[in-house]
Structure 1
Amino acid sequence: MSDNRSNDPQDESQQETFISHLVELRERLVKAVAGVILVFVGLVYWAPVIFNLFARPLMDALPKGGRMIVTDVTGSFFVPMKVTLLVAFLIALPWVLYQVWQFVAPGLYQHEKRLIVPLVSSSYVLFLCGVAFAYFLVFPTVFHFMAHYNAPLGADMSTDIDKYLSFAMTTFLAFGITFEVPVVVIVLVRFGVVELEKLKQIRPYVIVGAFIVAAVVTPPDVLSQLLLAVPLIALYELGLLMARFVGRPETSADAAGETQAD
């Protein structure tokens, strides 16, 4: 019988390359996870302190005698651990992004490397700025409003720590993503997905969309919605301004002429 298996050296080379990529991906994932775990282990002793800092905006807004409660048997242990793990991830995120960069960099052209490095760095910084904005400005404002809103109703504001964690993470994520708007605008313009003039033309729709998004992800009060919608609009305008200084995307011929990094 004839052997139906392919002995094409090119196919074998492609298979070996694919396997080597999988092996490298596994190694990068292991290193990234190990970095997060290492930071978490270093912080776990201070988990109660980290949680107290995390809960301070709510505790400072509560009326005298107000406090947080635990409705789950294991909540007082696992919630601080979750908060500490999230803090560890934020601290280790540059290391995680570095592992991602090491995996994808060999397949990028030089002009793509020059663009991606500042974009990733600025994305990380802007996300942290969004989290800080929510923690230092939005949380005190919203919690102060809600605490005083409950007073005339004669209701005590005692929040479960697990629900507070869920609310805080949702808010952090919303504001962190919101602060990425300038990066998104620059990427869209740089790669020619949308023309800058088109982004300027849809400005009224962006304003309406900002208030819709704010109404969905924030508590049902006008103040907290404004605290998300106004920065979103301002960051969009900042992205438009910065996109003016971004060069036009290179043609495919130009890109093909560049040598890929080894």
Structure 2
Amino acid sequence: MSEGKEMSFWGHIGELRGHLIRSILAIVVAAFVIGFNINWIMDHIFFGPTRNDFPTFRVVNHFSRMILGEDSIHLPKDFPVRVQRLYQQFNVMMAVSIFGGIVAAFPYIVWELWRFISPALHPKERKNSIFIINSVWILFMVGVLCGYFLILPFAVNFGVIFKISDIIVPLYDLSDYTTLFLQVILGMGIIFLFPVLIYFLTTLGILTPTFMKTYRRHAIVLIMVVAAIITPADVLSMIMAALPLIILYEFSIMMCAYTHKKIQKAAANLPAVQE
């Protein structure tokens, strides 16, 4: 009997190992694809927010011309980037490839996770878990896109236009820009998973909508702190990061209320079912 349990345990470990290996292979394949196309990706995606024709800047300037009669964002034609170490470009290529591989393979990684846990779930739980699993990768991708199109361009714009003297000639470090890029995008992708965390905490009975509403002001202060951590020091970038997070918090309150009400309803019907 104990041998059967031991075999069952190691069977689960072996199955988990298979899912992890396939997930890692997906990341490696995606990273290799990005690495082989690194020149195009660096020119059009990585350095995209440094150009005036970036979609975010075009939208802002479009409305700026309608209201003010002129463009409000004027980035320099060139974004001079330097390297200071021999293997700096290689290290950046590896970082961008691995990061891009994780982002590209993230939906597949989440799907592998669901494949591992779904056999242990009841049909009703399996149906609900599909919604949660899809929410994980969708929220992560929305966070990544929000960081790329909403926060990073304004952070770059502030860093470029801010000057303390006309004598200073701007020359930007490749590693600094890479750190900013990954920090903003990965940070927003992770933070956008907040509603999923709220769902699990509500399901476990740790969190209630009353608690979230009561401490809303404290949460906003914490959101501003988090926004300041994942963005540079300028106020505009921090505000642009905080706004979607505040909206996300309000959405989390509604989801918490819905989940809490559903749990209470199930608990109220439980005695009747037992009778």
TM-score, scaled relative to structure 1: 0.83
* 1:20 aligned partner, one-letter code: G
Deviations 1:205-258 (A, max 9, x none): 11111112222332112111111222211111112123333321655x97xx9x
1:55: which partner in 2?
A: 47
1:5 is matched with: none
List gaps (5 residues or longer) in structure 1.
1-9, 258-262
Q: Which whole-Å deviations, capped at 9, do the CAs of 1:82-123 have from their partners, x for residues lacking one?
A: 212322222222222222222222223333322322122112
- Whether the 8 Å contact between 1:185 and 1:236 is mirrored in structure 2 is no
Tell me how large the CA RMSD over aligned residues is: 2.4
Distance 1:43 1:219 in 2: 27
C-alpha distance 152-116 of structure 1, shift in aligned 2 (>3 A): farther
Contact conserved, 1:210 with 1:232, CA < 8 A, in 2?
A: yes
Q: CA deviation at 1:153?
A: 5.1
Aligned-residue offset at 1:193: 1.8
CA distance in 2, matches of 1:194, 1:149: 43
Q: Which amino acid aligns with 1:56?
A: G
Q: Distance in 1 between matches of 2:78 and 2:167?
A: 14
Question: What residue in structure 1 maps to residue 21 of structure 2?
Answer: 30
Cα offset for 1:132? Answer: 1.1
8 A Cα contact 1:218 1:224, kept in partner: yes
Partner of 1:164: 177
Give 1:128 shift: 1.2
> Which residue does the alignment assign to 1:42?
33
The residue number in structure 2 matching 1:137 is 150
Query: Relative to structure 1, is the Cα distance of residues 183 and 153 closer, same or farther in structure 2, using a 3 angstrom cutoff?
Result: farther
Identity of aligned residues (%): 27
- Which residue of the partner structure matches residue 86 of structure 1? 99
The amino acid that maps onto 1:36 is I
SS of alignment partner, residue 152 of structure 1: coil
Give the CA deviation at 1:201: 1.0
Deviation >6 Å, runs of 4+: none
CA distance in 2, matches of 1:173, 1:37: 18
Counterpart contact for 2:224–2:238, Cα < 8 Å:
yes
1: CA distance, partners of 2:255 / 2:2: 46
Query: 1:72 maps to which residue?
Result: 85
For 2:115, the equivalent position in structure 1 comes to 102
Residue type of the partner of 1:40? A
The alignment status of 1:228 with 2:241, answered yes or no, reads: yes
Kindly state the Cα deviation for residue 192 of structure 1 after the two structures are TM-superposed.
Answer: 2.2
1:3 is aligned to none
State the 1:59 CA deviation.
4.9
Tell me the residue number matched to 1:7.
none
User: Is residue 111–residue 133 contact of structure 2 (8 Å, CA) maintained in 1?
Assistant: no
1:93 to 1:156, Cα distance in 2 relative to 1, 3 A: same
Moved more, 62-71 or 137-146: 62-71
Query: 210-219 or 106-115, which moves further after superposition?
Result: 106-115
Amino acid at match of 2:162: Y
Moved more, 189-198 or 117-126: 189-198
Instruction: Decide which moves more: 154-163 or 166-175.
Output: 154-163
Which residue does 2:168 correspond to in 1? Answer: 155
More relative contact order in 1 or in 2 (CA 8 Å, sep 6+)? Answer: 1
**Other-structure match for 2:263:** 248
Equivalent runs, 1:199-218 vs 2, <5 Å: 199-218=212-231
Q: Distance in 2 between matches of 1:147 and 1:64?
A: 11
- Amino acid corresponding to residue 47 of structure 1 in structure 2: I
**Residue-by-residue CA offset, 1:10-56 (whole Å, 9 max, x unaligned):** 21111111221222222222211122222333333211111221122
Aligned length: 245
Q: 1:20 aligns with which of 1, 11, 17?
A: 11
Instruction: Say whether the 8 Å CA contact 2:231–2:238 is kept in structure 1.
Output: yes
CA, structure 1 residues 191+153, in 2 after alignment: closer, same or farther (shift >3 Å)? farther
What code does the residue aligned with 2:141 have?
Answer: L
